[in-house]
């Protein structure tokens, strides 16, 4: 009997997605009894049955995704300004095409959606992607290596203008909840200060580190900042707000407000501009900002990402033939493993304060804006 595989890319784009699509498609083609059906624009394509035959030739080196993508989730779709649950429509498309499995390439939100579909009776598998490298239960994600090289090159280039003009330059790097990309690029690019979501910073400690450099006649500083970097004062503000919440509310109402506060805290942006203004005042040095933003998602995938995507894509088909579904195909200690989706969905790979990368950075004099 013919095995019918559906495939889609969801969430943000990143380098390496096309390499993974190619790997899955070509591995499936090796079995004449397998048919591949792609859906355009993420889960929207599944909901609206926008199917296509994916091109597999000439896409290995292309950035982005030839299938298109979106951030919509079947259980939460905006229709004329109202959120609706269109899970039934997604299931209907799956049944209409007589799919045996749906393979979803995506990040944290995609893993949660895949689990939702799995619990609604669909056979689902996922591949981990994302430049943030924030997925649990996998050592790395498709797209991270390419973005890391791009961010590092940006820091390298900014060094020359920083020391020429004796300025502080802040480089904002994507990563709201996890700072893997900022940490890696900051270490590789020799940043003097690294600001991570996991380590709330103290403006006075950053100022002291910069002034100490000036006293040593190092009249410039490079600061790598995660977009989700947050100050100790802001963290303390949210903690006080939560305490007041529990004083005036009880039970489910208090828990709901806590969740809302956590969402606001986790989505805070614009901190880099605030930090730059503070540093200019506290140090008296000219301060400039470079926000890398979506630049980090673009371009051709690195050799490492191409190999990773190919490895994960072919393994995905192999695991499918072994009867695995309801899993994310990830890497652990150099091995490719199927991980149950309920161990992945809704979780973030937070950097531990004693992680070896942080210890190494501290030993070469990198400041994290804390007491370490």
Which residues are annotated as catalytic? 132
Give the closest residue to 102 by CA, choosing from 78, 74, 76, 130.
74
Q: Fill in the DSSP letter of residue 302.
A: P
DSSP string, 314-362: HHHHHHHHTT--SEEEEEETTEEEEEEGGGTTT---PPPTT-HHHHHHH
Cα–Cα separations (whole angstroms), residue 263 to 177, 267, 296: 11, 6, 24
DSSP 224-272: EEETT--BHHHHHHHHHHHHHHHHH--HHHHHHHHHHHHHHHHT---HH
Q: How many whole angstroms separate alpha carbon 134 and alpha carbon 284?
A: 36
Structure tokens at 114: 């895949």
Whether 286 and 165 have beta carbons less than 8 Å apart is answered as yes
- Interacting residues of 334 by C-beta distance below 8 A, sequence separation 6+: none
In angstroms, what is the C-alpha Rg of the chain?
Answer: 23
Phi/psi of residue 178, nearest 5 degrees: -130, 145
**Residues 6+ positions from 195 with CB-CB distance below 8 Å:** 179, 182, 201, 223, 224, 225, 226, 229, 275, 368, 369
Q: CA–CA separation, 113 vs 64, rounded Å?
A: 21
E strand or H helix that includes residue 74: none
Residue spans of beta strands (DSSP E) within 129-166: none
* Residues 332, 225: Cα–Cα separation, whole Å: 28
What are the φ and ψ backbone dihedral angles of 101, each rounded to 5 degrees? Answer: -160, 150
How many other CB atoms are found less than 10 A from the CB of residue 321?
12
């Amino acid at each position: 009997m013919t095995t019918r595989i559906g495939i889609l890319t969801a969430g943000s784009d990143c380098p390496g997605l096309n390499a993974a699509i190619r790997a899955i498609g070509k591995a499936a083609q090796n079995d004449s009894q397998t048919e591949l059906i792609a859906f355009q624009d993420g889960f929207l394509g599944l909901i609206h049955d926008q199917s296509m035959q994916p091109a597999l030739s000439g896409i290995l080196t292309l950035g982005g995704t030839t299938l298109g993508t979106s951030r919509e989730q079947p259980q939460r779709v905006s229709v004329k300004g109202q959120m609706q649950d269109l899970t039934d429509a997604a299931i209907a498309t799956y049944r209409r095409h007589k799919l045996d499995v749906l393979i979803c390439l995506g990040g944290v939100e995609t893993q949660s959606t895949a689990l939702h579909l799995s619990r609604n009776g669909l056979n689902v598998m996922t591949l981990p992607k994302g430049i943030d490298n924030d997925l649990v239960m996998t050592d790395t994600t498709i797209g991270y290596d390419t973005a890391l090289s791009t961010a590092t090159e940006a820091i390298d280039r900014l060094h020359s203008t920083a020391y020429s003009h004796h300025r502080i330059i802040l480089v904002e790097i994507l990563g709201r909840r996890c700072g893997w990309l900022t940490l890696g690029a900051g270490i590789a690019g020799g940043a003097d200060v690294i600001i991570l979501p996991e380590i709330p910073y103290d403006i006075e400690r950053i100022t002291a580190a910069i002034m100490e450099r000036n006293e040593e006649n190092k009249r410039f500083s490079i600061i790598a900042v995660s977009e989700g970097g947050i100050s100790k004062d802001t963290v303390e503000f949210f903690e006080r707000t939560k305490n007041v919440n529990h004083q005036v509310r009880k039970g489910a109402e208090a828990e709901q407000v806590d969740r809302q506060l956590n969402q606001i805290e986790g989505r805070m942006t614009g901190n880099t501009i605030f930090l730059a203004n503070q540093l200019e005042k506290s140090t008296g040095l000219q301060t400039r900002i470079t926000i890398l933003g979506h630049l980090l998602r673009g371009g051709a995938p690195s050799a490492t990402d191409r190999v990773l995507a190919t490895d994960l894509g072919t393994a995905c088909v192999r695991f499918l033939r072994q009867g695995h579904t309801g899993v994310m195909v990830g890497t652990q200690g150099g091995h490719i493993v199927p991980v149950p989706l309920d161990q992945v969905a809704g979780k973030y790979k937070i950097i531990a304060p004693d992680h070896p990368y942080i210890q190494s950075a501290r030993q070469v004099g990198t400041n994290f804006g804390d007491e370490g």
